[in-house]
Amino acid sequence: MHYENRNPPEGINTSDHSPVREFLRLSLSALVVLIAVGIFLNFSGSLLGGLLPFKAELWITERVDRIMQQAEQESPFADPVGQGSDSASVDPLEQYLQSMTDKVVAALELPEPIVITLHYRDDDVFNAYATLGGHVYLFKGLLKHLPNENALAMLMAHEYSHVGQRHPASSIGGGITMAAGSSLLLGAAAFENRFFSIASALASTRFSRSMETDADEAALAAVNSIYGHVNGADDLFELFTGIRDDNQLDFLDSFFSTHPLDDNRIQRIEEQAAANGWLATGAITPLPAQFLQWLN
């Protein structure tokens, strides 16, 4: 019997495939899968969040508020407008905002048990938003720029419409499912010490462009119901356009924003008014003479 040491075949340690190309292909495939999973989780969470009873929203916000106060943390749900003051000493700004809230809620015909809890923040922030449990926040930085009451009504009706159409619950539901999916990939450590950050996130809900459009349409109908015309509603979006121009925001900021472009929103106001036979002209209602003084 004869034995010999044979040399391995030539090219055994080489491949016709580029390892860099293979790595990029696998990485791209993994990225596509992750994006698909993320979209599915977000959609599923949004759908389930919208089915959450409004009473459950109230329970969640009340519990978060109680836990944060017990931990001596600032709660986003504290100090609503008109609460804790008797009628003789109520702040005139809060009294006016609450009276406007009553008008807008009646015009929107929000179904029971949905309620609006308004918060005024004395911060020079150009913002307003709605979140879980019917909590809506108006900031001085935005209110001081409003040109008239019609624009204020449009602003309030838009945010209150988000609550009525259950957009906060849908948005937060999508965020929770995304966070749960991340915890499965990253482990339980992803949720460590996150309670207070989650509670804060409840006060920064972001909505999709379709949600914003739906809220605009419901808000315009409410403005027409209150004033008998829609004149002045577009002043709110004219204001947004002016603020964006003053700050020289990049046009891509508007493209990637969850809010539709201001010009498109103004155009939709005109189209919706024409389609419903609503008057586009009418007397503009001024804000109270002391409005800016109240803000300051």
Question: Which of 187, 185, 193, 129 lies closest to 159 in space, CA to CA?
Answer: 129
What stretches of the chain adopt beta strand conformation (E)?
A: 117-121, 128-131, 135-139
Question: What are the structural domain ranges in the chain?
Answer: 34-295
Q: Would you place residue 194 in the very low, low, confident or very high pLDDT band (cuts 50, 70, 90)?
A: very low
Tokens found for residue 126 = 């150009």
Of 45-49, 202-206, 216-220, 246-250, the poorest mean pLDDT is in: 202-206
Q: What is the mean pLDDT of the chain?
A: 80
Span 227-235, mean pLDDT?
97
**Whole-prediction pTM:** 0.76
Note the pLDDT of residue 149.
98
Q: Which residues of 123-148 are buried (b: 16+ CB within 10 A; e: fewer)?
A: eeebebbbbbbbbbbbbbbbbeebeb
Greater pLDDT, 144 or 173: 144
Alpha-carbon distances, residue 95 vs 90, 120, 135, 148, 287 (angstroms): 7, 11, 17, 17, 13
Tokens found for residue 155 = 């602003």
Q: Which amino acid is at 48?
A: L
Cα–Cα distance for residue pair 49/259, rounded to 1 Å = 21
Alpha-carbon distances, residue 236 vs 99, 154, 155, 269 (angstroms): 20, 7, 7, 11
- SS3 at position 136: strand
Of 11-20, 54-63, 126-135, 179-188, the poorest mean pLDDT is in: 179-188
- SS3 at position 222: helix
Question: Which of 231, 223, 235 lies closest to 108 in space, CA to CA?
Answer: 223
